[in-house]
Structure formats: structure tokens, C-alpha cells
Amino acid sequence: MTTDQETMSDRLHVAIIMDGNGRWATERSLPRTAGHHAGVRSLRATVEAAVERQIHTLTLYAFSSDNWQRPQSEVRALMRILAAQLPSQAARCVRQNIRLSIIGRRDRLPDPVLQAVLRAEARTLHCTALHLRLAIDYSARDSLTRAARHVGNNGNGDFLQALMRAYNADSLVPDVDLLIRTGGEQRLSDFLLWECAYAELYFMPDYWPDFDGTKLDTALCAFQKRQRRFGKVPA
């Protein structure tokens, strides 16, 4: 990393689809849930790296609304991991001045997860170094549909507010600049479809449990070489 990259972010929003936990575990003859546990370590390392790189907003896809369709045992394991990890992650966030918020539906979360979400958000509300957003029971299509239903015909600003409310965000954040997906698949899987309108996409073969600050740097370096045009002719 150059000094430039270490302090690169002028309100940079990085989003990550943390994929490949199951395959990481299966390749090691472990149960898929072992991959989810290993993924927690990568999450922590990535969050720390994001603070060091002065990234402004980091949105991590932890559980999609379609993930409810997985075997009950896996869903239960994932919910247990969330309920267990959110309090310690929140404590870490307070120490590192990170604001933690959760986006997605809340009405279907098991009570221990919901309580952990509310406590984590309340504890870190005042923090300013990084805005860490964890997407849980998140579906971009569902959010867009509900926002559209609420907003009527009132214009873009109101739509963004409605969209923000539809997935329970408590503030507007900048659009995604860089979307990273681990695990080798090259798709969005219903993640931040509106916010990624002009995101640079970076797909990497590494499974999420093998992701860390160095891999984040690789993606950031690639991002810095991209020319973003937003539909215009380059200057």
C-alpha cells in the first residue's frame, strides 16, 4: 500500500458480498457451519483494515432474505453466530470508534439477534471513524418495492428516504464505489441494486474465510486503476 492508498478514501463506500464459506469448509471436509465460523475472523480483520485505510462506509452482506431457504440447521447456526458475535463486535467497534448499523428486515429475526442488533446500534451510535453496515435479512428488490409503494410520485430525494427506511437504515450513505465479491461467483445476488448503479465491481476467486486486509488492498489497488466516467466523456 502506498501512503495515498492508506488515506485514500474521500467518503469511499466499499461493499462486500462475503461468499464462499460453505465451499471453504467442504473442501476441508468440515461442516458448512465451520466455514461461517471461520468467516467471522475475516470479517474482523477486514473491518480493522477498513479503519486503517480510512474507508468511510463498509457494507457487508451477512445474510440475504433468500438465505432463509437454506436448511433449517444452517439458518439456525447462522443466527446463533450473529447473536453471539454482535455483542463482542459492538464492543470492538466502540474501542475502534466504529458505528455499527444493521440494514434489512427486522421482523423475522429471532429475538436474541434482534436484541443484539438494537444494543449494538445503540452502543456505537456516537462513533465516527467508520460506518460499518451489516446486511441481515436483506433483499434489494424487497426494499425497492416497499420504498416505491410508500413514496408515490414525490421525486428522487423522497425515494431515497423511503428506500433508507425500507431497509431500516438510519441515515443516507453515499452510493457504493467499490463492490467486492469473494467466492468466484460474478453476480449481485440481490445486494444494493440501487446503490451499485455506478459501483466498480471486483470479483475474486478466494473464499471469504481467506479474505483479509491484504486482499482488501488488492481490490482497492484495482479500483484505483479504474476510470469512472458516470456516462460522461473523460476530461
To the query of whether residue 154 is one of the catalytic residues in this protein, the response is no
Taking contact as CB under 5 A, which single stretch among the options 17-25, 72-80, 197-205, 223-231 is the one that binds Mg ion?
Answer: 17-25
Selected from 19, 177, 195, 200, the binder of Mg ion by CB under 5 A is 19
- Of these partners, ligand IPE, Mg ion, none, which one is at the site of residue 189 (CB under 5 to 8 Å by kind)? ligand IPE
| C-alpha cell recorded at residue 112 | 436474541
Q: Which of 66, 67, 210, 212 is catalytic?
A: 67
Residue 62: is it exposed, middle or buried by C-beta count within 10 angstroms (0-12/13-18/19+)? buried
Instruction: Decide which of ligand IPE, Mg ion, none touches 202; Cβ closer than 5 to 8 Å per partner kind.
Output: none
If binding is defined by CB under 6 A, does position 37 make contact with ligand IPE? no
**CA gap 116, 108 in Å, rounded:** 14
- Residue 190 a catalytic site member: no
Q: Which range binds Mg ion by CB under 5 A, 19-27, 42-50, 121-129, 149-157?
A: 19-27
Pick one of 55, 101, 133, 183: the residue that binds ligand IPE (CB under 6 A).
Answer: 183
Q: Give the binding range for Mg ion (CB under 5 A) out of 11-19, 74-82, 115-123, 219-227.
A: 11-19
DSSP labels, the chain: --HHHHT--SS-EEEEE---HHHHHHTTT--HHHHHHHHHHHHHHHHHHHHHTT-SEEEEEEEEGGGGGS-HHHHHHHHHHHHHHHHHHHHHHHHHTEEEEEES--TTS-HHHHHHHHHHHHHHTT--SEEEEEEEEE-HHHHHHHHHHHHTT--HHHHHHHHHHHTT-SS--PPPSEEEE-SS--S-TTSSTTTTTTPEEEE--S-GGG--HHHHHHHHHHHHH----TTSPP-
Binding mask 184-213 for ligand IPE (x = CB under 6 A): -x-x-x------------------------
Q: Which is nearer to ligand IPE, 61 or 159 (CB)?
A: 61
Cα–Cα distance for residue pair 200/176, rounded to 1 Å: 8
Which amino acid is residue 215, in one-letter code? K
Residue 67 binds ligand IPE, judged by CB under 6 A:
yes
Does 32 bind Mg ion (CB under 5 A)? Our answer is: no
Encoded one letter per residue, x for contact with ligand IPE by CB under 6 A and - for no contact, window 136-175 reads ----------------------------------------
Residue number, 57 or 64, with CB nearest to ligand IPE? 64
**Active site residues per annotation:** 19, 67
Residues that bind Mg ion (CB under 5 A): 19
Q: Which residues bind ligand IPE (CB under 6 A)?
A: 17-23, 61-64, 67, 78, 183, 185, 187, 189
